[in-house]
Amino acid sequence: MVDATDPATLVNVVAAARAAGVSFAATAIAQRKRAVRALGDAIMARAADIAKVLHEEIGKPPGEAWTSELVTTGELFDHWLGAIDDLLTPIDVPLNPINYPGKQVWLELDPIGVIALIMPWNYPFNLPLRTIVPALLAGNAVVYKPSEHAPRTGAILAEILAATLPPDLVTTVQGDGRVGEALIAAHPDKIVFTGSVTAGKRVAMQAATMLIPCSLELGSKDPAIVLADANLDRAVAGVVWGAFHNAGQDCASIERCYVHRSIYATFVDRVVVATQALRLGDDVGPLVNEAGLAKVASQVEAARAAGAVVRVGGSPTGNGYFYPPTVVTDMPANCALMVEETFGPVLPIVPFDDVEDAIRMANATPYGLCGSVWGRDVSKAEAVARRIRCGVIFVNNCCFTGPMGGAAWTGRGESGYGVTGSRFGLEGLTQVRTVCVDRTGQKREMWWYPYNDALVRVARGLIDVGRGGAKLGDRVRAVPVAVGGLLNRWK
């Protein structure tokens, strides 16, 4: 049993995190790296305990718990610890030495402050660390709210964080949406939210009233396009895994598959066989709760009532929240199964005759997170992939880059905005500062008061000297104009 946090305490929690963040940000990057490395070591030392909790709490099969949550977490720490020095190195701004003698300007990334991290239940261990690790290295503090559907996983991560890091630097708060709302109302400096479109819109609206920047990773309806020349062995195995891993409870899951008609019948038959071989519990876990099960069952039944053919699966098992991996064909293009996020182990397969039709159908939803294209002619497949409206595109693969520290995870449309991972994700956890230093010691600048005709001559001469399209003679003749104006500037 995990106790919920009293929403009334969130103001004090955020204030304590802000104070801890100021102290941590003042330390050298080497010291921050030591703290984060110690955190990573502590997590790996508890890997077996974490995998056990993931299996017990949300039914994640051990193979998925270890690969998608733990191996990827180790890689995440390795990436950021290796990359952070370069990413936080100040960037010099080139200056014209004639216009700006003795001056230096550079850009540096400062921590943004306190980051409110509101996370889902489907990858409850790795997902928060995708933000926590770079946030800490950049000098931020974090207040982290795990999903109310995975509180035990949140609690074991909280235990490791509290035992490894300075007090209040990363604080875990538990509870439902009311705790999330109170966390935002406590006015953190940035919100990072992963969840449904509906909840994401509420977060964005609340944040907007307080002018708090936010990053939203929301739902999707990810398409796969299987071209006529696809390697069927790989395409079948990849699409089946892409559709059913984590019981389809992944915003990167393949939720629609478009297959060239010349291979459609063969592809469907082989997908059905591969799906029938999957083992409930060992390969495919349960849905998270009764609402998730009901949503999946409702979409399949509505499609079936509209004429769809269920090739395998299609009905709840009656065993907890398990729903069998399901393959559906011949459904109407406008049924919920084709246009709304399912977030469950269901794969609709649709034939196409022309690749332009496949691209049009792939882009025919308001979502745009991931997509994949499968074909032996990689250049052709890549050309098709670039026309899919999404933030992450795969050719002959799917769904695996989300946990990578170096890869950007971002969406289009109702899949949200903001970036997790990569240097672009780090930019969202920091704020840029321009630093200007003048070492000349001179009394005043050429452009300071008083304004006079000599200043105008200097300015005109500098413009003419710098005109790239002007003739060389004209540019040379402009030099004495600028110099003469400068010599007379203060007379």
DSSP structure string for 408-465 = -B---GGGEES-BSHHHHHHHTEEEEEEEEE----S--TTSSPP-HHHHHHHHHHHHH
Same-domain check for residues 119 and 173: yes
Reference 336, options 376, 374, 308, 363; nearest CA is: 308
> Is 451 found in the same domain as 369?
no
Residues 236 and 272 in one domain: yes
The residue out of 352, 379, 403 marking a domain boundary is 403
| 319 in the same domain as 206 | no
CATH number of the domain that residue 357 is part of:
3.40.309.10
Q: Pick from 168, 200, 219: which residue ends a domain?
A: 219
Quick one: the chain helix, strand, coil %, rounded to 5?
Answer: 45, 15, 35
Asked whether residue 189 falls in the same domain as residue 119, the answer is yes
Categorize the per-residue pLDDT at 246 as very low, low, confident or very high, splitting at 50, 70 and 90.
Answer: very high
CATH of the domain at 78: 3.40.605.10
Is 463 found in the same domain as 346?
A: no
CA-to-CA distance for 227 and 352, rounded, in angstroms?
9
Confidence of residue 259 (pLDDT cuts 50, 70, 90): very high
Tell whether 231 and 210 lie within a shared domain: no
pLDDT, tens digit, 9 for 90 and up, residues 18-35: 999 999 999 999 999 999
Task: For residues 257 and 201, state if they share a domain.
Answer: no
The 10s digit of each residue's pLDDT in 215-229 is: 999 999 999 999 999
Question: What mean pLDDT do residues 473-478 have?
Answer: 77
Q: Residue 175: what pLDDT?
A: 97
Q: C-alpha dihedral over 241, 245, 249, 253, to 10 degrees?
A: -30
- 438 in a structural domain: no
- Do residue 253 and residue 318 come from a single domain? yes
DSSP string, 177-188: HHHHHHHHHT--
Residues 249 and 299 in one domain: yes
Angle between helices 472-487 and 453-466 (to 10 degrees): 150
Tell me if 436 is assigned to some domain: no
pLDDT single digits (tens) 272-327: 999 999 999 999 999 999 999 999 999 999 999 999 999 999 999 999 999 999 99
Give catalytic residue positions. Answer: 217, 251
Tokens of 62: 């051990």
Of the candidates 85, 441, 393, 51, the residue with the CA atom closest to the CA atom of residue 222: 393
Rounded CA separation 6/211 (Å): 25
Regarding whether 123 and 44 lie in a shared domain, the answer is yes
Beta-carbon contacts of residue 135 (< 8 Å; ≥ 6 apart): 111, 115, 117, 142, 429
Mean pLDDT of 54-77: 96
Range of the domain at 459: 444-487
| Closest by Cα among 290, 313, 318, 286 to 301 | 313
Which segments of 176-317 are extended strands (E)? 190-194, 214-217, 222-226, 254-260, 309-312
Residue 52: exposure state from Cβ atoms within 10 A (0-12, 13-18, ≥19): middle
Q: What total of structural domains would you count in the chain?
A: 3
| Banded pLDDT at 5 (limits 50, 70, 90) | very high
Q: What is the mean pLDDT of the chain?
A: 96
* Straight-line distance from the first to the last Cα atom of the chain, in angstroms, rounded to the nearest whole number: 81
Looking at residue 1, its pLDDT comes to 78
Handedness of CA 313, 316, 319, 321 (dihedral sign): positive
Domain limit, last residue, from 219, 253, 280: 219
